[in-house]
Structure 1
């Protein structure tokens, strides 16, 4: 399935490079598709990633000799919470920077904050593409479901990052995010790592996805659709249960 994962990785790259041309994402004030996409991503986290963390904890029991790593045997969910907090802190720093700069006539975040924000999402993308290779899928459908869930999540992230950083994102950000996907895939394809690393990355991804979806859905100015969000969440949950 390594070549299929590469095809999907290229698909992720295409999403970052060309998603701004998709008309369904340009609807104002907000496309209902983005709310559906958010529901799909959250459904995948709660129906697949979080249950998988429980399996990881059972498999890791007694296998980690390092004292610090042994702590993860029973507290892997703390990594998911850390992922949520980290991305919350990033969003808070961006909004604070924009608010301060707006007072001086420049509504954009500082260059330093922009790069910290983009590099963080590049690492996030790298984790997703790494897991695209390293996840233990039952069959091709499992990988396809991961691709769909993360693909629509990338569209949501792209929309949010472009709205936040505007021209800087199109000039630099999307290219770095696209490149990070190929780097993550390459590491996953050619490097062999311990299972506990996969469990940590999965937990971090789960927390990050939850925060990144909710930050796009909850603000009042987004005018998100609860019905569309629930439609995406419910339909994808049923699909995961059936498959």
Structure 2
């Protein structure tokens, strides 16, 4: 276990447990916080997730048994569709109950706990480490913050009382498995593809602010700034 892994899991847990307090107490303002986070998340999708999925697919395609050359992209599609179904069910539940989503809220917490677990596992089981791991990991931390804040808005009382702890447990499980019992590379690629599809959906659905809540200059700073720094570091350090 490396020090960067310990620091990252502590950051993730802090974000997950205190996301709303961090955002609401910041002098930056909620709209700017979420716009910046959304910008970084969108950039992260294009400069890290999609290129990484392409590399993983190229590695799998060397196996003679895999001839589609798009297996991981199909798994990513499944991940997107499954979590899209969860979002639609949550919307339907919120219309059926006067306050919140009724018992479906807890089903959504379980799904997002699994979501957190798989993302956390990918971060800690991958072979990147040091400054590179922290740099990419912080983008994931901002993503956790935005998703946590969105779930808090849906049902703040139940989220504060228990929901955030359920999500934090998912992060801890992913960290433990990723650090102490990582799976084989092909299995890691499958998990990465599936959760990447779900993450792309959540970034586009939950993190790109709507016109009423957006602060476009901050969104641009987050997206273009993160992309520029990432490409610069890749160029100089061959990430």
User: Into which bin does the TM-score normalised by the smaller protein fall?
Assistant: 0.7 to 0.9
- The CA RMSD measured in Å over matched residues stands at 2.4
Residues 39-50 of structure 1: pairs in structure 2 closer than 5 A: 39-50=39-50
* Alignment coverage as a number of residue pairs: 233
Q: 1:153 aligns with which of 135, 138, 143?
A: 143
Which digits, 9 at most, give the CA deviation of each residue in 1:120-155, with x for residues without a partner? 111111112111211221x51210112210111111
Q: Give the conservation status (yes or no) of the 8 Å contact 1:30–1:224.
A: no
2:237 alignment counterpart: none
Q: Distance in 1 between matches of 2:150 and 2:61?
A: 39
Q: What's the CA shift string for 1:194-224, capped at 9, x where partnerless?
A: 2122112222232222221222356758522
Residue aligning to 1:17: 17
Q: 1:219 to 1:54 in 2, by over 3 A?
A: closer
For residues 1-243 of structure 1, what are the structure 2 equivalents within 5 Å?
2-24=2-24, 30-63=30-63, 70=66, 74-101=70-97, 106-111=98-103, 113-137=104-128, 139-217=129-207, 220=210, 223-243=213-233
Q: Structure 2 vs 1, CA of residues 49 and 214 (structure 1 numbering), >3 Å: closer, same or farther? A: closer
Aligned pair in 2 of structure 1 residues 64, 194: CA closer, same or farther (>3 Å)? farther
Alignment TM-score, normalising by the size of structure 2: 0.87
Distance change (3 Å), C-alpha of 1:25 and 1:156: farther
Structure 2, unmatched stretches of 5+, are 234-239
Q: Deviations over 1:15-36 (max 9, x none)?
A: 1112222255778x95211111
SS for the counterpart of 2:158 is helix
Other structure's SS at 1:193 match:
coil
